[in-house]
């Protein structure tokens, strides 16, 4: 819009966003000495007109728009006006300006979020940490990052999250909402906020059935096993899928595995604590079929530290969707995920009479506070026998040479 069309002040958000440039720079009064400056190239910023100690008037830059919104610019100007000298002039010393800028920066949602992240990431795996900060940087910071977190209304969060839902990422929306709710909890318990604007929003947002554990039925498993063994694309991905079917590990644990963790002669894989969900070492017995697959894989990626090095950067593992995309190419989208193989293993092993404690130990599920300090070799000998049986069982399913009966 043209400056001549301005009807009221302070300037509305729609005015700030649409105000057109002219052939020369101009300023429009917002109120109380705060001006909105527009350059011929369309660049916009805030300036405060103030009186120096010597009685002369001058301009003080308050930041560029839209990085500094109207609300934030007025807040910064008010703080500077509150700091006045005896003669009534604004104290515009470098120190006062710097203090005001630091206070404004520390009150932004991004600053609070990064403080929360620094505390929480110490207990996360590397993959979780990367996904969390990535979601905030991609979705939240561009919208709310530069704004004071106390000024963001519940309705604004509702509109933002519903906008995410409309793109189809319902599950990601739920995770983002949970992160932001925790971020505000940090501000509340540290006395920097009196309420949490995301509290209760989940009641009015979409929910989606959890699909992380999607898996085929036992009857469909033989066809899936045969499809995986004939996967026509990258051989390392084929091997990875086969290992997922028989080891009952988490996809991230396998995808990020390093050769130094694998002892092929002993048939053991020691996953270090920093890569485990519960931050405890986990020892995985390798059946003979897994050892053979790993020896095949070593001929492909053995010159790298990772079992599944990335194509662009071999110091980082393959994408976290590599196995999911492979299953999609095989026609199992929405029917089978990498994590779903853990559910299948648990079902088959329990139904065939194996001790549930051995199964839970293989899945690295440990009851907190009951067993005390976790022993990474818990039920190792029993699990060696169990997982060899399971690998043999999958071979029989894939070949179709299995009669239906339960293990005594």
Which of the residues are catalytic? 250, 277, 339, 342, 365, 374
- Other C-beta atoms closer than 10 Å to the C-beta of 240 total 26
- Other C-beta atoms closer than 10 Å to the C-beta of 30 total 21
In the sheet that 34-38 helps form, which strands lie side by side, from edge to edge?
A: 26-31, 34-38, 44-51, 57-65
What tokens were used for 55? 């009685």
Cβ(336)–Cβ(390) under 8 Å? Answer: no
Bridge-partner residues for 47, per DSSP? 35, 61
Of 143, 158, 150, 148, nearest to 195 by C-alpha is: 150
- Alpha helices in 302-368, H assignment, sequence order: 322-329, 340-351, 356-362
Of 161, 138, 135, 69, nearest to 108 by C-alpha is: 69
Distance CA 192, CA 359 (A): 46
Please compute, for residue 228, the number of CA atoms within 13 A of its CA located in the half-sphere on the CB side.
31
Of 8, 20, 29, nearest to 77 by C-alpha is: 29
Give backbone dihedrals phi and psi of 38, rounded to 5 degrees, phi first.
-125, 125
The DSSP element (H or E) to which 268 belongs, if any, is strand 268-271
Bridge-partner residues for 35, per DSSP? 29, 47
What tokens were used for 101? 């800028």
Bridge-partner residues for 315, per DSSP? none
Of 134, 181, 133, nearest to 157 by C-alpha is: 181
First to last CA, the chain: 80
Residue 149 CB-density burial (10 A; 0-12 exposed, 13-18 middle, 19+ buried): buried
């Amino acid at each position: 819009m043209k400056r001549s069309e301005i009807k009221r002040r302070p300037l509305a958000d729609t005015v700030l966003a649409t105000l057109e440039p002219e052939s020369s720079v101009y300023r429009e009064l917002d109120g109380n000495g705060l001006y909105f400056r527009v350059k011929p190239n369309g660049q916009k910023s805030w300036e405060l007109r103030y009186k120096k100690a010597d009685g002369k008037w001058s301009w003080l830059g308050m930041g560029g728009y839209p990085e500094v919104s109207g609300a934030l610019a007025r807040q910064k100007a008010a703080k500077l006006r509150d700091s006045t000298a005896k003669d009534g002039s604004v104290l515009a010393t470098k120190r006062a300006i710097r203090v005001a800028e630091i206070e404004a920066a520390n009150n932004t949602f991004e600053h609070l979020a990064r403080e929360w992240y620094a505390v929480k990431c110490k207990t996360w795996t590397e993959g979780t940490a990367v996904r969390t900060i990535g979601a905030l940087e991609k979705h939240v910071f561009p919208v709310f990052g530069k704004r004071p977190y106390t000024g963001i209304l519940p309705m604004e969060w509702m509109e933002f999250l519903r906008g995410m839902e409309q793109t189809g990422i319902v599950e990601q929306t739920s995770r983002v909402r949970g992160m932001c709710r925790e971020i505000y909890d940090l501000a509340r318990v540290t006395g920097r906020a009196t309420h949490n604007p995301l509290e209760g929003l989940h009641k009015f947002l979409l929910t989606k059935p959890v699909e992380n554990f999607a898996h085929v039925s036992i009857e469909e498993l033989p066809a899936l096993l045969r499809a995986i063994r004939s996967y026509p694309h990258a051989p390392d991905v084929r091997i990875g899928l086969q290992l997922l079917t028989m080891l009952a590990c988490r996809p991230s644990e396998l995808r990020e595995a390093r050769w130094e963790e694998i002892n092929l002669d002993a048939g053991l894989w020691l996953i270090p604590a920093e890569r485990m969900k519960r931050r405890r070492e986990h020892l995985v017995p390798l059946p003979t079929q897994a050892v053979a697959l790993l020896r095949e894989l070593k001929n492909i990626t053995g010159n790298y530290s990772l079992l599944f090095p990335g194509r662009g950067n071999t110091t980082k593992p393959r994408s976290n969707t590599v196995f999911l995309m492979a299953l999609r190419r095989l026609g199992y989208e929405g029917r089978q995920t990498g994590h779903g193989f853990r559910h299948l293993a648990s079902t088959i092993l329990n139904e065939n009479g194996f001790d549930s404690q051995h199964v839970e130990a293989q899945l690295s599920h440990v009851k907190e506070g009951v067993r005390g300090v976790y022993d990474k070799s818990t039920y190792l000998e029993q699990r060696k026998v169990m997982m060899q049986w399971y690998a043999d069982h999958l071979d029989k399913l894939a070949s179709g040479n299995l009669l239906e009966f339960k293990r005594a």
